[in-house]
Amino acid sequence: MNKIRNRSLIVWFIVIAFIGGMIYFSINLIIHADVWASKPQNAHLGTDGMGEAGVITDRNGNTLAYSENGTRYYNSDESIRCSLLHTIGDEGRNIGGAVQNVYRSELSGFSFIFGLGLPDGLTFGRNIQLTVDSELSKTAYEALGDNKGAVFVYNYKTGEIIAKVSAPTYDPANIPAIDDDEAYEGVYVDRSINATYPPGSTFKLVTSAAALENMSISELENRTYNCTGSDTIGGNTITCYETHGEESFKEALAHSCNCYFAQLAVDLGADKMTEQANKMGFNKSVSIGSIDTASSKYDVSEADQNELGWSGVGQYTDLASPMTMAIISGAIANGGTPTLPYLVSQVSLPFGIPTIPQGGKSGSQMLSSENASILSDMMRYTVENEYNGGGFNGEICAKTGTAEVGEGKSAHAWVTGFSRDESCPLAFAVIVEHGDSGYLAALPVAAEVMNKALQIYSE
């Protein structure tokens, strides 16, 4: 009896000692981590020293970056390196949201408990697995060509970011002279998450959602409008690119009729428009794990009625990041509630013990599931009837946009949408800066990317 009691006492002592040790270590890490990171003698944390950092892999385990004998190496394919620059980063700290910057401490291992205080050579970093697909990222990079712009693709069911590509970019293994070269203007900005643009007609999805959420479907179906190419709304002119004639709600979205949607925004009013924009991710900062992203903006507090009309078609002072538009599409695809995107799927020790994988968290509801289904069908109708299938091989729902950016400058080209294929549940947004036409410049990029994704997911 006594023997058993003694043995269980010993077990309890070990357990308590272990827990106590862990708590001590954790506190020590929290207190000392920053101090340790800034010590200049800690060579593997300098701006140029990722020489002992852990391995970064893509969702399929392909190596994207690793270190050997004090040198950092990247994937052997130059297009993959360029496509993932803004996601992985180089060894400097120029790209704010890059994994090698944000997760530098995990990668270089300074916060790793056995690495604390050990001499160089005995420390080792953790490995990071990302949710991205390097082949799809390469396709997105190549589809953008010489344009400036971005592609954001994510799984709207799980939240995994599959491709996050920004252009211009450069090769982290062969860094060019960037200063004062116009081709590299804004090269350090990840345009997919940290740049905002006028959303143009892609914003008609938000105005449509506001109408569906606040008007009855019969009221919307009975609402007809005769577009003559321009109209006086709120005391001033709203113009369309062409004359659309008599049209229903569904047809007006497919035609992308400015006059119809400007009138709809004015009829809904500033409060309801603002409420719906806020529900759909505007005026709110969103982060991807530890990575900050730019807030999209919708503010009609100072707008007159005509400006409110323009705000309903994605002009006025509206601004959106590609990620915001992709999440809106993802929510429409996912029954009205988005799964929020994430990028780091696993942080593990070199000998293979994984941490608990981060999952995609559910965001707050953007619209009812009935209205999401109606809007999904309207986007599918748009692709079939207005874009002639859009070059997509699968059942894709989409909305293009051509966003005016001031006189004398060509417009930004947008498209956002999603696949209704259960085996390839991806939502996307593409922007081509000064592409002049969403249909001509952004839609073909999305088609190339989504066709490649459909191919990858069917394998």
Q: Which residues bind Zn ion (CB under 5 A)?
A: 227, 240, 244, 257, 259
- For residue 73, list its beta bridge partners: 66
Amino acid present at 369? S
Q: In this complex, which beta carbon is closest to Zn ion, that of residue 246 or of residue 459?
A: 246
Q: In this complex, which beta carbon is closest to Zn ion, that of residue 6 or of residue 232?
A: 232
Q: In this complex, which beta carbon is closest to Zn ion, that of residue 240 or of residue 325?
A: 240
Q: In this complex, which beta carbon is closest to Zn ion, that of residue 153 or of residue 240?
A: 240
**70 with 79: CB under 8 angstroms?**
no
255 Cβ contact partners less than 8 Å away, ≥ 6 residues apart = 227, 244, 247, 386
Q: In this complex, which beta carbon is closest to Zn ion, that of residue 144 or of residue 259?
A: 259
CB of 395 to Zn ion, least distance (A): 27
Distance CA 437, CA 196 (A): 18
Distance CA 271, CA 276 (A): 9
CB of 301 to Zn ion, least distance (A): 27
Distance CA 262, CA 257 (A): 9
316 Cβ contact partners less than 8 Å away, ≥ 6 residues apart = 300, 303, 307, 308, 310
**221 with 248: CB under 8 angstroms?**
yes
CA 57 centroid distance within chain: 19
CA 367 centroid distance within chain: 20
CB of 267 to Zn ion, least distance (A): 16
CB of 264 to Zn ion, least distance (A): 12
Across the beta sheet with 71-74, what order do the strands follow?
71-74, 63-68, 56-57, 127-130, 344-348
**160 with 59: CB under 8 angstroms?**
yes
Q: In this complex, which beta carbon is closest to Zn ion, that of residue 136 or of residue 227?
A: 227
Q: In this complex, which beta carbon is closest to Zn ion, that of residue 257 or of residue 411?
A: 257
Scan for tokens 């008599």, then name that residue.
246
Backbone angles phi, psi at 386, to 5 degrees: -110, -30
Q: In this complex, which beta carbon is closest to Zn ion, that of residue 137 or of residue 201?
A: 201
Q: In this complex, which beta carbon is closest to Zn ion, that of residue 240 or of residue 432?
A: 240
CB of 226 to Zn ion, least distance (A): 9
CB of 239 to Zn ion, least distance (A): 8
CB of 237 to Zn ion, least distance (A): 12
Distance CA 192, CA 169 (A): 12
Q: In this complex, which beta carbon is closest to Zn ion, that of residue 95 or of residue 240?
A: 240
Backbone angles phi, psi at 307, to 5 degrees: -65, -35
CB of 398 to Zn ion, least distance (A): 19
Give the count of beta carbons closer than 10 Å to the beta carbon of residue 174. Answer: 10
Q: In this complex, which beta carbon is closest to Zn ion, that of residue 255 or of residue 297?
A: 255
CB of 227 to Zn ion, least distance (A): 3
Task: Kindly calculate the radius of gyration of the chain based on its CA atoms and give it in whole angstroms.
Answer: 25
Ramachandran assignment for 175, one of left (phi > 0), alpha (psi -120 to 50 degrees), beta (any other): beta
CB of 255 to Zn ion, least distance (A): 6
CB of 315 to Zn ion, least distance (A): 14
Scan for tokens 């000998």, then name that residue.
351
311 Cβ contact partners less than 8 Å away, ≥ 6 residues apart = 265, 273, 298, 300, 303, 317, 318
Amino acid present at 367? L
